């Protein structure tokens, strides 16, 4: 009977793709002027400047490639997927193009007529919003297995440079599903939380360590877990001093942060936490029963999802 089925939620098989053209930060158009105008110390090591990844593909193609990798890693056939959550910082401006995007992704993944939920507006926290949406679908019994994909690319090269990061193009995907014993690369959904201050969402406002603290308090009160029990914080790949300062102010130890992808990957919009989880997994850095916190901070908003490795 439906009422007796296990509806515990897991995240499975995180995968990602990056833009196929890797470029050193010094070769980004306008980079030298960008540094001079902001009077930044030209020290790549200090800032975590390294490579960015640019694509000649559209975001639908990136989404399909990431989704296929997740399906393959999970050993899941397309007909096992009964919903798609598609996230992006920027969907097409013309409403008529929305259908084209959805149709291209569904066709590319051979998903048929599964329902699609689009997630945006939360900027680089949109993936975690999408994950929370998918988890609610599964926990409520509405769907059994949801494919979640986030995909983004800068609209033009001038947008690759920001005061807080160097942007890369790419996509990331995972399954959010009911728990299946023995399923590989599974992470139990322990809890999630957010903290928001609408007054701080205005353009140019800094991310807030206080919001991260507030989200932590809600999350840890709900789960009964302490911040020192977190094996790793999987955060955004923004400039190194920003990550270190804000997350340490929020109460994390430097040893809980893994900052290597700031240099190697750059800031891949909302995909960073999932990219960082996938990379940690690929090098054997996941401990059975370990706790891993996906976190996204944008101006006026902090979102986090706590996972336990199965």
| Residue ranges making up the domain that contains 273 | 186-309
Q: Residue 132: helix, strand or coil by DSSP?
A: helix
- Indicate if 120 and 190 belong to the same structural domain: no
Average pLDDT over residues 25-47: 96
Q: What are phi and psi of 16, to 5 degrees?
A: -155, 165
- Indicate if 27 and 74 belong to the same structural domain: yes
- Indicate if 11 and 146 belong to the same structural domain: yes
Beta bridge partners of 24: 51
Q: Residue 19: helix, strand or coil by DSSP?
A: coil
What rounded mean pLDDT belongs to the chain? 95
Q: How far apart are CA 169 and CA 264, in angstroms?
A: 13
Dump pLDDT digits (tens) for 203-250: 878 999 999 999 999 999 999 999 999 999 999 999 999 999 999 999
Average pLDDT over residues 27-54: 96
What is the pLDDT at residue 6? 56
Binning pLDDT at 50, 70 and 90, where does residue 48 land?
very high
Please give the tally of structural domains in the chain.
2
SS3 readout for 91-131: CCCCHHHHHHHHHHHHHHHCCCCCCEEEECCCHHHHHHHHH
- Indicate if 22 and 164 belong to the same structural domain: yes
Contact criterion met (CB below 8 Å) for 295 and 191: no
- Indicate if 200 and 174 belong to the same structural domain: no
Question: Phi/psi zone of residue 65: left (φ > 0), alpha (ψ -120 to 50 degrees), beta?
Answer: alpha
pTM value is 0.96
What is the pLDDT at residue 7? 66
- Indicate if 62 and 204 belong to the same structural domain: no
Q: Which of 116, 147, 178 is the last residue of a domain?
A: 178
- Indicate if 170 and 72 belong to the same structural domain: yes
Q: Which of 128, 150, 178 is the last residue of a domain?
A: 178
Residue with the bigger pLDDT between 96 and 11: it is 11
Dump pLDDT digits (tens) for 138-197: 999 999 999 999 999 999 998 999 999 999 999 999 999 999 888 889 999 999 999 999
- Alpha-carbon Rg for the chain in angstroms: 19
Chain Cα centroid distance, residue 302:
13
Q: Which of 146, 178, 210 is the last residue of a domain?
A: 178
Evaluate if residue 2 carries a pLDDT over 50: no
Q: How far apart are CA 87 and CA 236, in angstroms?
A: 16
Dump pLDDT digits (tens) for 179-192: 988 888 999 999 99
The kind and range of the H/E element at 297 are: strand 291-298
- Indicate if 226 and 248 belong to the same structural domain: yes
What is the pLDDT at residue 5? 53
Report the CATH number that the domain containing residue 148 is assigned in CATH: 3.40.47.10
Q: How far apart are CA 270 and CA 63, in angstroms?
A: 13
What is the pLDDT at residue 1? 30
Cβ-in-10-Å burial (0-12, 13-18, 19+) of 83 comes to buried
Distances in Å between the alpha carbon of 132 and those of 96, 129, 146, 151, 294? 27, 5, 11, 17, 11
Dump pLDDT digits (tens) for 50-98: 999 999 999 999 999 999 999 999 999 999 999 999 999 999 888 888 9
Residue with the bigger pLDDT between 3 and 37: it is 37
What is the pLDDT at residue 282? 97
Q: Which residue, among 187, 225, 191, has the nearest Cα to 310 in the 3D structure?
A: 187
Instruction: Give the number of C-alpha atoms closer than 13 A to the C-alpha of residue 82, restricted to the C-beta side.
Output: 9
Evaluate if residue 4 carries a pLDDT over 90: no
Please report which residue ranges of the chain form alpha helices under DSSP H: 31-37, 44-47, 59-74, 95-109, 126-139, 209-223, 240-249, 260-264, 272-282
- Indicate if 170 and 249 belong to the same structural domain: no
Average pLDDT over residues 278-306: 97
- Indicate if 255 and 201 belong to the same structural domain: yes
């Amino acid at each position: 009977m439906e009422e007796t089925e296990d509806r515990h939620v897991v995240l499975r098989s995180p995968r990602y793709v990056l833009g196929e053209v890797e470029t050193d930060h010094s070769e980004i158009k306008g980079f030298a002027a960008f540094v001079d105008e902001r009077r930044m110390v030209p020290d790549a090591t200090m800032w975590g400047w390294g490579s960015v990844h640019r694509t000649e593909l559209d975001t639908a193609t990136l989404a399909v490639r990431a989704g296929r990798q997740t399906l393959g890693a999970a050993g899941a056939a397309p007909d096992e997927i009964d919903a798609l959550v598609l996230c992006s910082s920027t969907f097409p401006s013309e409403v008529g193009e929305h259908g084209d995007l959805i149709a291209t992704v569904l066709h590319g993944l051979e998903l048929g007529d599964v329902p699609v939920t689009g997630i945006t507006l939360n900027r680089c926290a949109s993936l975690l919003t999408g994950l929370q949406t998918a988890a609610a679908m599964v926990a409520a019994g509405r769907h059994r297995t949801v494919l979640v994909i986030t995909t983004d690319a800068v609209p033009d090269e001038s947008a690759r440079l920001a005061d807080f990061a160097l942007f890369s193009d790419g996509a990331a995907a995972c399954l959010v599903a009911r728990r299946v014993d023995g399923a590989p690369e599974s992470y139990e959904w322990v809890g999630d939380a957010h903290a928001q201050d609408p007054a701080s969402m205005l353009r140019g406002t800094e991310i807030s360590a206080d919001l991260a603290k507030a989200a932590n308090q809600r999350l840890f009160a709900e789960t009964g877990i302490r911040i020192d029990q977190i094996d790793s914080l999987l955060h955004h790949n923004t400039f190194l001093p920003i990550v270190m300062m804000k997350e340490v102010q929020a109460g994390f130890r430097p040893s809980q942060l893994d900052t290597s992808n700031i240099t190697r990957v750059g800031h891949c919009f909302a995909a960073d936490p999932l990219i960082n989880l996938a990379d940690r997994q690929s090098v054997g850095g996941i401990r059975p029963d370990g706790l891993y916190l996906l976190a996204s901070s944008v101006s006026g908003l902090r979102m986090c999802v706590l996972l336990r490795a199965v």
